[in-house]
Structure 1
Amino acid sequence: MNIKSVYKKIVGSGSQEKIIKGVFWSFLGTLISKGFAFIALFLVARILSVQEYGKLGLLQSYINTFTLFSLASFGVTATKYLAIYNNEDKKKASEIFSLTRIFVFILSSFILILSYFFNDAICEYIVGDPNLKSEVLICGAAIYFSSLNGLQVGALAGLQNFKSISIVNIVNGVLSLPLIIISAYHYGIKGVVVSLAIINFSIWACSAILLKKELLKNQLFFTVKNLRKHFDTLYHFSLPSFLSSIMLAPVVLICNSFLIKYNTAGYYELGIYNAAFNFSQVGTILIGIIGQVFYPMAMQNFGKNNRKFDFFNINNSYIIGILIFLPIVSLPDLFAGFYGIKYENNNMYYSVMFVGLSSIVIAQRQGIARNFAAGNFMWFSVFSNLIWAATTILSCYLLISKGSIGRSLAFFIGYITNTILFIPFYINKKLIDKKLLLSKEHLLLIFCILISNLIFTLIDNLFFRIIITIVFLVLCLMIFKNWFKSYIKNG
């Protein structure tokens, strides 16, 4: 048996081969990118004071918020329509991508100009520190290149070229680790912000080169003709997708601003929260890998009653989320200890716990979110996220005196409330099979998560908690396996 036949036997063919190869390249790139970035931010937290780390977190949320404004979900639009039309109608695929490219360039340039003219106002009302004017200006450049890169990576995902995306992510990770650490050590917050601008420029240039090659390979081209007829596509998909996704980053920014304005130890508490939130980003490494591969496939398979695909599309992120975050929920003191003694306190422990719980809920919703896009229910998604945003902001305002704990608890309240309220809608619109949401196996998983949440509060001995956590992880895997068999057999 030769190497090629062994490869085919292991990997398979068709959609199975696409998934495995896509996951491999996405895993490699995302592991290096997110992993190195997490290590860098972890070390930065040890280099800077807690208050300085809070300010850096606020600047990062500013970059993330206005990157979303500039990108306006056109990256997701490029992913969806290139996945659908690349093989069926190359002219239409080229026109829609060209339209998204023009809009992102205009929006990114507009945001860059506004950030320059309204620098003083941004420092005072958003960042909350007039002494960060130069840092905010540098953030404008980071936003500009981050937005352009987001569109290009979205297009590569739509063309299912995960190898190129992996290369972009590897460049990101290789640059992030040394640049951010060295700049933080020698130049503090300003050094980190300059590093972010340099990194975003570098990955934009890398993705531009790779995308150009991929477009030529697929015989896709840039054009300014016949674009008006696709405005309807932007209205029905891009606009609601933008309004839906844009709520997250501004809510983060608003809640961070609440913390620094209405809590006497605002920057300190925000530093604690940002350190806790970094653990959530670890989970996005694997969840993002799977999601990136499944997104274009969800566009192609929605409504086709492919039960195996439906099961894994809905639950792959969920089980990964449980495996990653259940230990964080039950062992928050163990994970907080990685940051050093200045983070070893109850504020950090309970913030880590609530961040972990929120991350599990977010992971559970990933497959449903893909089906929102695939089924063209984006305006309903806007309404759903609007309810989440209002609930989260109100909860944060009411809990602001609790500092980082209140900040993290507010997000958990927002996510769990929104999920419960919209269960009837998910089922009615067939965004998720009722058997995948209200099954006994799912209820058992929820029970395991709730019990894990009590372990830290009720048991002091760390060794006992580690043993119990391992038992629960094994139990969750067994439940997931039986759930899959039952769903396929009784479908």
Structure 2
Amino acid sequence: MKLLSTTVFSGITAFVKISAGFVATKVISSFSGPAGVALVGSLTNFMAVVLSLANGSVTSGIVKYTAEFKNDRRKSKILYDTSVFVSLVCSAVVFLGLIIFAKYWSRSIFHSTEYVSVIYLLGGGIVFYSLNTILLAFLNGLGYIRKFTIINGISSVITLLLTILLIYYYNISGALYALVITQFAVFFVAVLLIGKRIFKNISRSIFKPDFKTVKNLSHFTVMAVVSSSAMPVAQIIIRNFITKEIDLNSAGIWQGLIRISDGYLLMINITLGTYFLPKLSSLNGKSDIRKEILEGLKFLAPLFLAMCAGIYFTRFYIIEILYTKDFSSMESLFFWQLAGDFFKVLSLVFSYLMISKVMTKGFIFTEVFSALAYVILSVFFVRLMGLEGSSVAFFISCAILFVSLVFSFRKTLLGND
């Protein structure tokens, strides 16, 4: 599996997801207005958390060990059986939590019990969400990038078509149901395309899990929980601080830039997760790991630098297309945000190295340190420079993180074994 070909397929996946998401948002806003967009956004965020809990947050571990045990049928079988067991147990717990407290979740998410049936449907299908994620992790670990791309593409298209169809007939309720129903269809698409390679290793032994494997996968659960909470919490703190220190509109402009950043980073994140995690997991020799890391940095640096330059020089058009004139002051934030994202992308290579080699403590420290630095520097620079200070703080925190990682892995990079 080559990095260039993976980038191409990942780019296709990202393009389809971004395009489908943009069109779906336009449709929802046209039929249901801002309120509809807000409700769909709330459900999307809630589903992300629920899905992470339903599969035990072990997908990174599955990718790593699937790649590592690719040629060992016995270990692969133990991994598959144990992963499915963990998924089923976690799904059962989440199912009970959703069904029993459905009205509470509905009030918390939608501020009403009008959509409690959406929560019931989500609970009923949670096992399909979980198993679909597990299957995609298997595909990724085995290096089936074409099938991985096809399934992700089909998922985005199905979501878009269901959203358009159901919202046309049922308005906002249709959009909510579309989000929930999508994974039912996508799971069966994955089953059809995945072939016999994986299922022939799954047996009744799923009810006799290997607890050593469960322990190994638990490291990835911890890393996933920290990774999925550290930066979001930091952003909540910074957003609240900007609102208090400046005003709500400034916080909205800052949030708008973060959304743009998340959009253009999607392709890079998919590429790194799809390529580096299984690749680095399969390598044991220090020279091989060093070669892969250096080649990855040499490939990503000019590619993302060119992307950043393109975004910077078209920032006025991007703001005009995605937002309104009220967001025009955002353009002054782009330079520092892009510069920070450049170092952030390079740092991700080392993050995937830590995940692939189960450096749990180092990974957790990196995530927490990065988030804390971002918050502390934001407080200082926002008070010093105003809103632009938030982007300056992001750049400095990302640069410090990258330099720290290079120093920490200097023996790997320089070949001093």
**TM-score, normalising length: structure 1:** 0.67
Matched residue SS, 2:201: coil
Deviation at 1:415, TM superposition (A): 7.5
Partner residue of 2:62 out of 69, 78, 83 = 78
Partner residue of 2:413 out of 419, 425, 433 = 433
Deviation at 1:240, TM superposition (A): 3.4
Deviating more after overlay: 322-331 vs 247-256: 247-256
Deviating more after overlay: 61-70 vs 302-311: 302-311
- Counting matched residue pairs gives 408
| Corresponding residue for residue 306 of structure 2 | 323
Q: Does structure 1 residue 147 correspond to structure 2 residue 130?
A: yes
Matched residue SS, 1:246: helix
Deviations 1:438-491 (A, max 9, x none): xxxxxxxxxxxxxxxxxxxxxxxxxxxxxxxxxxxxxxxxxxxxxxxxxxxxxx
Q: Does structure 1 residue 382 correspond to structure 2 residue 364?
A: yes
Q: Does structure 1 residue 313 correspond to structure 2 residue 296?
A: yes
Q: Is the 8 A contact 2:98 2:120 kept in 1?
A: no
Partner residue of 1:57 out of 32, 35, 41 = 41
Q: Distance in 2 between matches of 1:411 and 1:339?
A: 20
Q: Distance in 1 between matches of 2:92 and 2:262?
A: 31
| Corresponding residue for residue 244 of structure 1 | 226
Matched residue SS, 2:286: coil
Q: Distance in 1 between matches of 2:309 and 2:196?
A: 42
| Corresponding residue for residue 397 of structure 2 | 417
Q: Does structure 1 residue 93 correspond to structure 2 residue 73?
A: no
Q: Is the 8 A contact 2:343 2:398 kept in 1?
A: no
Matched residue SS, 2:319: helix
Q: Which runs of 5 or more residues in structure 1 are unaligned? A: 1-14, 436-491
| Corresponding residue for residue 7 of structure 1 | none
Q: 1:35 to 1:355 in 2, by over 3 A?
A: farther
Q: Is the 8 A contact 1:317 1:366 kept in 2?
A: no
Q: Does structure 1 residue 190 correspond to structure 2 residue 170?
A: no
Q: 1:289 to 1:347 in 2, by over 3 A?
A: same
The percent identity for this pair of structures is: 15
Correspondence list, 1:67-466, <5 A: 67-87=51-71, 89-122=72-105, 127=109, 129-131=110-112, 134=115, 137=119, 140-141=122-123, 145-184=128-167, 187-211=170-194, 213-216=196-199, 220-222=201-203, 223-224=205-206, 225=208, 227-235=210-218, 237-247=219-229, 251=233, 273=255, 277-278=259-260, 280-301=262-283, 303-306=285-288, 308-339=291-322, 342=324, 344-346=326-328, 349=331, 356=338, 359-391=341-373, 413=393, 416-417=396-397, 420-421=400-401, 423-424=403-404, 426-430=406-410, 433=413
Q: Which runs of 5 or more residues in structure 2 are unaligned? A: none
Q: Distance in 2 between matches of 1:50 and 1:358?
A: 31
Deviations 1:112-138 (A, max 9, x none): 33234344554566x4x5137617626
Q: 1:400 to 1:143 in 2, by over 3 A?
A: farther
Q: Distance in 2 between matches of 1:400 and 1:45?
A: 33
Q: 1:303 to 1:29 in 2, by over 3 A?
A: same
Deviation at 1:371, TM superposition (A): 0.8
Deviation at 1:381, TM superposition (A): 0.7
Q: Distance in 2 between matches of 1:220 and 1:153?
A: 16
Counterpart of 1:71, as a letter, is: N
Q: Is the 8 A contact 1:302 1:371 kept in 2?
A: no
Deviation at 1:94, TM superposition (A): 1.3
Counterpart of 1:420, as a letter, is: I
Q: 1:409 to 1:90 in 2, by over 3 A?
A: farther
Matched residue SS, 2:259: helix
Counterpart of 1:369, as a letter, is: S
Q: Is the 8 A contact 1:272 1:347 kept in 2?
A: no
Q: 1:287 to 1:52 in 2, by over 3 A?
A: same
Deviations 1:229-249 (A, max 9, x none): 3234234x3243333333258
